[in-house]
A and B are shown apart, each in its own frame.
Chain A
Amino acid sequence: MTGTQLRPAVDTEMEFQPRLSLRRKVGAVFGVLTVVAMAIGLLTLGALIVDVVRDGWSVLSWDFIRNFPSRRASAAGIRSALVGTIYMMVLTAVIAFPLGVSAAVYLEEFAPKNRLTSFIELNISNLAAVPSIVYGLLGLGIFVRTFALGRSLIAGALTLSLLILPIIIIAGREALRAVPPSIREAGYALGASRWQTVRMFVLPVAMPGILTGTILALSRAIGETAPLITIGALTYVAFTPGSLFDPFTVMPIQIYNWISRPQPAFHQLAAGGIIILLAVLLTFNAVAILLRARLQRQIRD
């Protein structure tokens, strides 16, 4: 401590040094650090995209989309996987959307506030964070074995539906919660019952939000690999599935199959597959963003 000759009152005053410029400098350094953190994320994303496009650009062609996979890299294509992914998405959407919206409507509009309801809510939050491979084991035990659906398209679609159901429910509830209570009151004032109010007043307003959530959930399902491998989707399929009970493959599994081979030519095919997969995902997300923008405009009006 300095200034022992000074009187105590003055001493305490001397002790407090605002050092404002130093503190501000440290603050500025910290601000730069936060930008660096974000930049690392964005740069990695950029590096990933550049790397994949550089590796896979040369294999992209109509033949790549038209051809079935092959032992010869030069003749291999992604047709069976692309068709499998499309079938899988349509089936998953058909199964998961009505269930998810119904569950969201129940929890947001009908459910009494009791222990059962809060248990269901906690359960849904937990399911949303259960690793996808555990859903694969569930699908293997229930759909493939118990229901004897085999390693089929429908077993895969049911598994993925259960996987994305919590995401649709959570997004659907948020969309329903954003509907102002005055709209419900208007419905009741006209003598509509609870369900009539929900169907004719609340759901139409909430629908863009619900659809946005569903599309994002489906884009999660498109990229899922592990649960489908676990239920036994084949990694080498040289035909397109003709019925719900046929074996299938999807794009991420085909990509994984190509990555796991040692020859660089197959790695290029994998990169080409990734470009197509990312393009599909980007389209999905663009639709979701457009819907969200429309929703925001609607609420403002």
Chain B
Amino acid sequence: MERAPGIPQPVEALPAVSLAERRERIQRVLRGDLAEDRRRRLRERLITGWLFLAAAISVLTTAGIIYTLSIETIHFFQRVSLVEFLTDTQWTPLFAEKHFGIAPLAVATLLVSSIAMLVALPLGLLAAIGLAEYLPPRLARLIKPILEILAGVPTVVYGYFALLFVTPLLQRFIPNLQVFNVLSAGLVMGIMILPLVASLSQDAMLAVPQSLREAAYALGATKLEVVWRVVVPASLSGIVASFILAVSRAVGETMIVVIAMGNTPRLSFNPLEQMQAMTAYIVQVSLGDTPHGTLEYQTIFAVGTTLFLITMGLNLLSFRFLRRFREIYQ
């Protein structure tokens, strides 16, 4: 091959390599076919495989939960009929005369969650509106993390607070309030969940485009009207998602109800009395030494399955709302 004069010819440094070999080598480099390239690709594939496995552990976790819960639950329902589980009004697996109706535990959980929601939803939404729309952004950035400390306090601490501060306080106004009661547990749980609602709802409101607010102001709306008729409806699916997640959190909450609500499973709707929530029953049995394979051991998995199904249903519903919200604005 002729070269133009004056251009350096570095290839002459490799005299032993023929032109064909040289061409092949260049092509292999371009194809990424050298030994070191192959090594690199192999390493890359191994690492990707490891990373995938790490991500797959989450799927294995869910599979493990479903497997563990269903095995013992199936054993449970071989001994106890589903009809009894759903319709009996007594839950006394730890007594001589055994009844296996989930109703007392389920009603207690429902009651305490409802009280918590009466606190957490309105206050959380108001706080979110305050943070997103009313407070100057600098102040909101200061207050939000302090509010979020509430969500980071261990639940056993809230249990202490409910039993030894809130209940004695309430007993001054409600003399027939029992030492263990649903009301205190619910109120404290509501305060605990408030930051979850506030934080997620605020995020939803901040995602509403500024132009919508400006359009409403241009039509002569006041701040409150902009908030209630524009911002809240526009972020409604995000707010609803946060509400549903809050319910899910309340249903699964354990230590507050264990400590402050009592451990007597009885079907009642009076929040001034003690009751046993589903999670509290699981803890009560776990604290005793219950041998594997007994009916008592299986009951906690049956209750756990009920809990898991309820919360997962709520979580998936919440994600559906959240996705709809994200599709609109992001």
A binds B: yes
Q: What residues of chain A have their CB less than 8 Å away from a CB belonging to chain B?
A: 18, 20, 23-24, 26-27, 30-31, 33-38, 40-42, 44-45, 47-48, 51-52, 55, 98-100, 102-103, 105-107, 110-111, 119-120, 122-127, 129-138, 140-142, 145, 162, 165-166, 169, 193-195, 216, 219-220, 222-226, 229-232, 235, 252, 255-256, 259-260, 267, 270-271, 274, 277-278, 281, 285, 289
Would you call B96 an interface residue if the criterion is a C-beta within 8 Å of the partner chain's C-beta atoms? no
27 A-B residue pairings within 8 Å (CB atoms):
A26-B224, A31-B130, A38-B127, A41-B147, A41-B195, A48-B161, A48-B165, A106-B54, A110-B48, A111-B52, A126-B315, A129-B249, A129-B315, A130-B252, A130-B311, A133-B304, A134-B65, A141-B301, A195-B47, A219-B152, A223-B155, A226-B155, A226-B282, A231-B286, A252-B154, A277-B154, A278-B153
Could you say which of B13-21, B67-75, B84-92, B97-105 contacts chain A?
B67-75
Would you call B59 an interface residue if the criterion is a C-beta within 8 Å of the partner chain's C-beta atoms? yes
Q: Least Cβ distance of A301 to chain B in Å?
A: 21
Find out whether the CB atom of B154 lies under 8 angstroms from the CB atom of A124. no
Find out whether the CB atom of A230 lies under 8 angstroms from the CB atom of B283. yes
- 17 additional A-B residue pairs with CB within 8 Å, beyond A37-B126, A110-B48: A18-B220, A35-B130, A35-B134, A37-B124, A38-B198, A41-B127, A52-B161, A100-B54, A131-B308, A131-B311, A141-B72, A193-B40, A230-B283, A231-B286, A235-B287, A259-B164, A277-B154
Per-residue interface assignment for chain B, residues 302 to 315, with 1 indicating a CB less than 8 Å from any chain A CB and 0 otherwise: 00100110011001
Residues in B with CB closer than 8 Å to A120 are: 55-56, 58-59
Contact of A136 with B286 at beta-carbon distance under 8 Å, contacts A219-B152, A281-B154 already known? yes
Find out whether the CB atom of B315 lies under 8 angstroms from the CB atom of A229. no
Of B43, B64, B67, chain A has the most CB atoms within 10 Å of the CB of B64
**Within the assembled complex, what's the spacing in Å between the Cα atoms of A147 and B165?**
42
Of A137, A169, A194, chain B has the most CB atoms within 10 Å of the CB of A137
Would you call B316 an interface residue if the criterion is a C-beta within 8 Å of the partner chain's C-beta atoms? yes
Find out whether the CB atom of A37 lies under 8 angstroms from the CB atom of B130. yes
Would you call B116 an interface residue if the criterion is a C-beta within 8 Å of the partner chain's C-beta atoms? no
Could you say which of B170-178, B207-215, B253-261, B267-275 contacts chain A?
B253-261
Find out whether the CB atom of A222 lies under 8 angstroms from the CB atom of B154. yes
- The number of A-B residue pairs with CB atoms under 8 Å apart is 267
Would you call B245 an interface residue if the criterion is a C-beta within 8 Å of the partner chain's C-beta atoms? yes
Q: What residues of chain B have their CB less than 8 Å away from a CB belonging to chain A?
A: 40-41, 43-44, 47-48, 50-59, 61-62, 64-65, 67-69, 71-72, 122-124, 126-127, 129-131, 134, 143, 145-147, 149-150, 152-161, 163-165, 191, 194-195, 198, 220, 222-225, 227, 245, 248-249, 251-255, 258-259, 279, 282-283, 286-287, 292, 300-301, 304, 307-308, 311-312, 315-316, 318-319
**Residue from A99, A124, A145, A260 within 8 A of B259 (CB atoms):** A260
Residue of B nearest to A29 (CB): B224
Find out whether the CB atom of B69 lies under 8 angstroms from the CB atom of A256. no
Q: Least Cβ distance of A292 to chain B in Å?
A: 10
Residue of B nearest to A31 (CB): B134
Find out whether the CB atom of A40 lies under 8 angstroms from the CB atom of B123. yes
**Within the assembled complex, what's the spacing in Å between the Cα atoms of A34 and B312?**
31
**Residue from B123, B145, B163, B254 within 8 A of A226 (CB atoms):** B254
- In the A-B complex, the 9 residue pairs with the closest CB atoms: A131-B252, A223-B154, A34-B130, A141-B68, A102-B54, A37-B126, A27-B224, A106-B51, A226-B254
Q: Least Cβ distance of A265 to chain B in Å?
A: 13
Q: Least Cβ distance of A232 to chain B in Å?
A: 7
Q: Least Cβ distance of A253 to chain B in Å?
A: 8
Residues in B with CB closer than 8 Å to A51 are: 161, 164-165
Find out whether the CB atom of B51 lies under 8 angstroms from the CB atom of A274. no
Residue of B nearest to A98 (CB): B54
**Within the assembled complex, what's the spacing in Å between the Cα atoms of A219 and B149?**
11
Residues in A with CB closer than 8 Å to B318 are: 129
Contact of A103 with B156 at beta-carbon distance under 8 Å, contacts A129-B315, A131-B311, A229-B287 already known? no
Find out whether the CB atom of B282 lies under 8 angstroms from the CB atom of A230. yes
Find out whether the CB atom of B57 lies under 8 angstroms from the CB atom of A45. no
Q: Least Cβ distance of A263 to chain B in Å?
A: 13
Q: Least Cβ distance of A261 to chain B in Å?
A: 12
**Residue from A41, A123, A138 within 8 A of B58 (CB atoms):** A123
Residues in A with CB closer than 8 Å to B47 are: 195
Find out whether the CB atom of A37 lies under 8 angstroms from the CB atom of B55. no
Residue of A nearest to B282 (CB): A133
Contact of A134 with B48 at beta-carbon distance under 8 Å, contacts A33-B126, A141-B71, A281-B154 already known? no
Residues in A with CB closer than 8 Å to B160 are: 52, 255, 259, 267, 270-271, 274
**Residue from B123, B249, B279 within 8 A of A133 (CB atoms):** B279
